[in-house]
Structure 1
């Protein structure tokens, strides 16, 4: 019997734009796709729309020798949906644009769509449209749409005030450790460190934590994409406060310590400056919301900046897109 599965020699150029689009929508389709644009249902009363967009460039944000296409799809969803969550909103839809060399295997796009569909299903969100074109390297852009309900203000970088608790949801330092392991071993990383590699190639946070935090009274929030110190410095600067982190709350766990020992590295560099965990980090004047842990306090404006146990952090460089 002849297999009717995907032909591995198919490329984007050999099948054409419409077949590439069909390959995506067959895996991550939506009834909301229109002829030339998506037609979305009206939001509930007193809901605002939140929009975020992010780009992943091959060789800069991912490498195919390290990440499967599915993992790339999972990661680009998390990068964008974490931005929506950090506003206190609920992700509801996304738009995908792909620029790639004509000889890119069609199976790469199918894998990308599978990763997107897998992650979006956790949010009950849908891929509602996008675009495909050719370029000299793979560039993937995703735009996320979210709904912000109720009368509470959005969680913003400028809403922290002195005397609030700094809170976090998600792992801190795992993605940075995963990157360091990939740089040393490639994908042949010792199996004990597989969770750290997964945190780099396909990071994850629990859906809905941003909405929970906003409902519980959180004020400021962002996600740990560029490094804990760097991202919290942005909050401190925008809000005109200082932030004093508690080292005991950030202590590297056993897996980070073991990875650091294998690489002859300092695990605190991953915790303080690693980034790409997309941990939700914010501030609240009240009780710590469900799913979050306290990691420090905000201080008076005269102490603007981020310290750890009252001292300048050992690592603070973080990630820069430019």
Structure 2
């Protein structure tokens, strides 16, 4: 039986997605993604030359301290990706480690995506692509085996939902000609102002356990649940802030010997919201560690999320 599809805007917010007992507010955002890489010079070449990140600051290795580089958008202080060097770290085998599958860089416009595609083609770098219905996406693999998605969102007025409130996803071919046409004669100048980390996607060992952590305890809505071996969860009706899949189930979790995700940041509006999320996670039996920047919670596969509160305006 074919499911009837509706315009996203035809359903009220409370009918979109599956809501947990206590849900995260709409105005959350993803912050810095912390990665371990085997060779910082090699990674910086890829992240700057190919992806267009700006190097915000770099710290050389010292005794007892790894070399680190912080990357973002030129003109903005926000750190989107932090690379920490671990010489000899094992590359990630395809679907061979539980942990991060990809991080997704969200560009502001379709024209920006077209400029990026032109740029990558000019470098001769292999580029995958897909139309996800709510977004148009490209995919690259970095030198350590991390997948990087670079995408743009369609307006929510163009999204579709089922009568049950499930946001509709797709794996259709990208209209690359249309995306390139949107770029016109413009050229890639690096990541444009307004670029963010749009979402993260994780390899997990079990979808029921993943939903228990990220949906029931942390508070994300389940936005899409009919995909094969995956759940997409988000806040505020977004198609997904996190992808959770079991496509590498049976593989070991990433270890300290591997290139890996060290942690990711989830920013919430205030300390009350942050502390409530940490309390829910702890009450559900998950490890929650206090740190000066905020509590860090660990999921069943060792993926660590740092809960951060937006600074409040001074009275």
Task: Report the TM-score range of the alignment, normalised by the length of the smaller protein.
Answer: under 0.3
TM-score relative to the length of structure 1: 0.27
Give 1 or 2: higher helix fraction.
1
TM-score relative to the length of structure 2: 0.27
Give 1 or 2: higher strand fraction.
2
